[in-house]
Amino acid sequence: MENIYEALKRTSKSDDFMQSVMTIRQKLLHLSYYNSTVNHEMIHRDLLAAIQHSNTDIGDLNDLKNAIPLDGIYMSSNLDEITLRLLQGFIFIQMDQDLHEGLLINVADLERGYRENNLAENEYSVIGPKVAFVEDLDTNLNLLRKEIISVNLVFEEQIKGTMSKTRVVIAYIDGVVNPQHLNTVRQRLGDLDFDVIYDTSTIDQIISDNTNTPFPLFMSTERVDRMKVNLTRGHIAVISNGSPYVISGPTTFFDFFNSPEDFYLPWILGTFFRFIRFIAIVFSIFASSVYVSVMTYHYTIVPRALLGPIIESRMNVPFPPFLEVLFMEITVELLREAGARLPTKVGQTLGIVGGVVLGQAAVQAGLTSNTLIIIVSLSALASFVTPIFKMANTIRFLRFPMILLAAGWGGLGMIIGVMFLLGHLLRLKSLGTPYLVPLFPFRYKGLREFIRTPFSMNSERPGFLRSLKDKSYTVQKHKDISDDYSNE
Least confident of 106-115, 193-202, 308-317: 106-115
Q: Measure Cα distances from 376 to 74, 355, 364, 371 in Å.
A: 66, 11, 17, 9
Confidence band, pLDDT 50/70/90 cuts, at residue 478: low
Vertex 387: Cα angle to 145 and 389 (nearest 5): 90
CB 252 within 8 A of CB 464: yes
- What is the mean pLDDT of the segment spanning 226-244? 93
CB 252 within 8 A of CB 437: yes
Q: What CA dihedral angle connects 314, 318, 323 and 327, to 10 degrees?
A: -80
pLDDT tens digit sequence for 80-119? 899 888 988 899 999 887 788 889 998 887 766 555 556 7
* Structural domain boundaries in the chain: 4-106, 137-251, 273-433
% of the chain surpassing 70 pLDDT: 92
Position with higher pLDDT, 366 vs 411: 411
Extended strands (E) in 279-357: none
- What is the mean pLDDT of the segment spanning 218-229? 93
pLDDT tens digit sequence for 286-306? 999 999 999 999 888 888 888
CB 133 within 8 A of CB 118: yes
Whole-number pLDDT of residue 352? 61
pLDDT tens digit sequence for 33-49? 998 888 888 888 888 88
Crossing angle for the helix pair 267-296 and 321-341, to the nearest 10 degrees? 140
Confidence band, pLDDT 50/70/90 cuts, at residue 368: confident
Q: Which of 54-58, 95-99, 217-221 has the highest mean pLDDT?
A: 217-221
Exposure b/e, 249-271, CB count within 10 A at least 16 = b: bbbbbbbbbbbbbbbebebeebb
Query: In the sheet where 153-160 sits, what is the strand order?
Result: 153-160, 166-173, 236-240, 246-249, 219-221
Q: What's the mean per-residue pLDDT of the chain? A: 86
Q: Is the pLDDT of residue 270 over 80?
A: yes
Confidence band, pLDDT 50/70/90 cuts, at residue 224: very high
Question: What are phi and psi for residue 134, nearest 5 degrees?
Answer: -125, -175
Q: Residue 474, exposed/middle/buried by CB under 10 A (0-12, 13-18, 19+)?
A: exposed
Least confident of 190-194, 214-218, 338-342: 338-342
Position with higher pLDDT, 264 vs 450: 264
Task: Identify the three-state secondary structure at position 467.
Answer: coil
Least confident of 15-29, 297-311, 444-458: 444-458
Whole-number pLDDT of residue 1? 55
Confidence band, pLDDT 50/70/90 cuts, at residue 280: very high
Q: Which of 61-65, 77-81, 468-472 has the highest mean pLDDT?
A: 77-81
Q: Is the pLDDT of residue 358 over 80?
A: no
Question: What are phi and psi for residue 236, nearest 5 degrees?
Answer: -115, 130
Whole-number pLDDT of residue 239? 95
CB 446 within 8 A of CB 463: yes
* Closest-CA residue to 133 (of 224, 230, 237, 213): 224
Predicted model pTM: 0.85
- What is the mean pLDDT of the segment spanning 143-163? 91
* Closest-CA residue to 40 (of 56, 18, 62, 25): 18
Q: Is the pLDDT of residue 169 over 60?
A: yes
- What is the mean pLDDT of the segment spanning 1-19? 83
- What is the mean pLDDT of the segment spanning 115-138? 79
What whole-number distance in Å separates Cα of residue 27 and Cα of residue 75? 18
Least confident of 87-96, 363-372, 410-419: 363-372
Whole-number pLDDT of residue 356? 62
Whole-number pLDDT of residue 183? 95
Is there a cis peptide before residue 441, judged by omega within 30 degrees of 0? yes
